[in-house]
Amino acid sequence: MSFEDMTHVIRAAALKGYQEVMRDCGVPARPLLADHGLCPEDLADDDALLPMEAVCGLLEASSLAAQCPDLGLRIARHQDLAVLGILGLAIQTAATPAEASKIISRFIFLQGTALRMRAEVPGRLVPDTVAMVLEIDGIAPNRQRQIIELILGMGFQVGRMRDPWAHKVRAVSLPHGLGTAGEPHRRFFGVPVHENQTSAALHMDARDWHVPDPNSHPRFQRLMEDHLERNFPVPAQRLSDRVRAALRPLIGTPQANRADIAHMLAIEPRTLHRQLRAEGTSFQEIKDSARRDLALKHLTETDVTLDQLAGMLGFPEQSALSRACRRWFGTPPGALRRARRADTDTAVRR
């Protein structure tokens, strides 16, 4: 079964601390849970599988109801390695950050089937770093903000709790803007937080990427990885999913073309074209979809100018962006931004 053939789910452990945070904010959690088809009892079993759409919707609605833009980070403060279950045990055995990243990248689906993490070596945004990039499949960009911050916050907490990895994160990047609400994020991470980037990531010091932890247990690590490989095979992933994941961070760069993506995936361009056609899509359709998603994210969540956005998406001029937005959304980009902000203001007043 491919990821696209299933309803994405996430372990209830990801919401550990949610009810406590809402109580601290003075907002009842039960009605919000009910609005999204959930109840407090659903959160009691860490291994219960909850619909990803419901969890993302719950976090966004709760953030608005509590007027708490850093809700995801507040929840993350209540979490530790235990919320990852067996995946957390496997990460604990890793001798180096590089080995931990391989375990996370391969088995993150055990925490949530929509979650993707990959190491970008070297990181492009911050010099002398490796970026651990987080991506979320199948969820609309305007419903990802809090879940992104929750997952990054939890990952940061886990790294900080493990000596000698406590101070390896040098920066954080977010695909959305923070505006005047950014101070809690900077306090939480204690490192530069870069807003309105093409991807969400923790940027790790590259000098320590392969430095072993003297307290690690390589034999136990091999046993844990063997156990995961035998008992939790990675679900089959369609080529279109792989193309989408490889292409998204490259949108707006010269590398966002079929030949370069085929090279990254170790496949011939003609073979890539043929296999995508068999899946009912094409490279251009995937690229257009990625551009559309990024345009929607930035038009509804950030203050980047239209000229800047056109460049970020790889359009030669703003007029090309305007034509694309009319095709995607039936309205020009400026009108879409004004309409979404008006909707947000109305929701906050309520």
For the residues of 223-272, what is the DSSP string, one character each? HHHHHHHHHSPPPP--HHHHHHHHHGGGTTSTT-SHHHHHHHTT--HHHH
Judgement on whether residues 48 and 22 belong to the same structural domain of the protein: yes
Same domain, 31 and 167: yes
Instruction: For residues 264 and 198, state if they share a domain.
Output: no
Q: Which helix (H) or strand (E) holds 51?
A: strand 49-51
Q: Give the type of residue at 75.
A: I
- pLDDT > 80? residue 249: no
For the record, the structure tokens of 329 come out as 């959304």
Q: Does 13 fall in a domain?
A: yes
Closest CA to 197 of 248, 235, 161: 248
- Taking only the tens place, the pLDDT of each residue in 119-165 is 988 888 999 999 999 999 888 888 999 999 999 999 998 777 665 55
At residue 342, does pLDDT exceed 80? no
Please indicate, yes or no, if residue 310 is contained in any of the structural domains: yes
Supply φ then ψ for residue 200, to 5 degrees: -90, 135
Query: Tens digit of pLDDT for each residue in 167-181?
Result: 789 999 999 989 888
Work out whether strand 129-136 and strand 9-11 pair parallel, antiparallel, or are unpaired.
Answer: unpaired
Q: Is residue 57 part of a domain?
A: yes
Residue 200 burial (10 A CB sphere; 0-12, 13-18, 19+): buried
pLDDT at 341: 62
pLDDT, mean of residues 75-92: 87
Q: Do residues 96 and 147 both lie within one domain?
A: yes
232 in a structural domain: no
168 and 270 housed in the same domain = no
Q: Which domain covers residue 37, as residue numbers? A: 3-227
Q: Could you give the number of structural domains in the chain? A: 2
| pLDDT for position 343 | 54
Residue 235 is assigned to a structural domain of this protein: no
Distance of alpha carbon 107 from alpha carbon 182, whole angstroms? 31
Which CATH number characterizes residue 251's domain?
A: 1.10.10.60
What is the pLDDT, as a whole number, of residue 5? 38
What pLDDT, on the 0 to 100 scale, is given for residue 302? 80
283 and 210 share a domain? no
**Is residue 11 a contact partner of residue 87, using CB atoms and an 8 Å limit?**
no
| 260-313 confidence digits (pLDDT tens) | 898 877 789 999 999 999 999 999 999 999 999 889 888 887 888 999 999 999
Q: What is d(CA 30, CA 41) in angstroms, rounded to the nearest whole number? A: 10
pLDDT tens track for 9-53: 999 999 999 999 999 999 999 999 999 999 999 999 998 999 999
Please give the share of the chain, as a percent, with pLDDT higher than 90: 51
Query: Is the pLDDT reported for residue 350 higher than 60?
Result: no
Report the run of H or E that residue 308 belongs to, with start and end.
helix 306-312
* Same-domain pairing of 141 and 20: yes
236 within a domain of the structure (yes/no): no
Check residues 227 and 52 and name the one with the higher pLDDT. Answer: 52
Kindly state whether residues 286 and 153 are assigned to the same domain: no
Q: Is residue 234 part of a domain?
A: no
Beta strand pairing call for 169-173 and 193-194: parallel
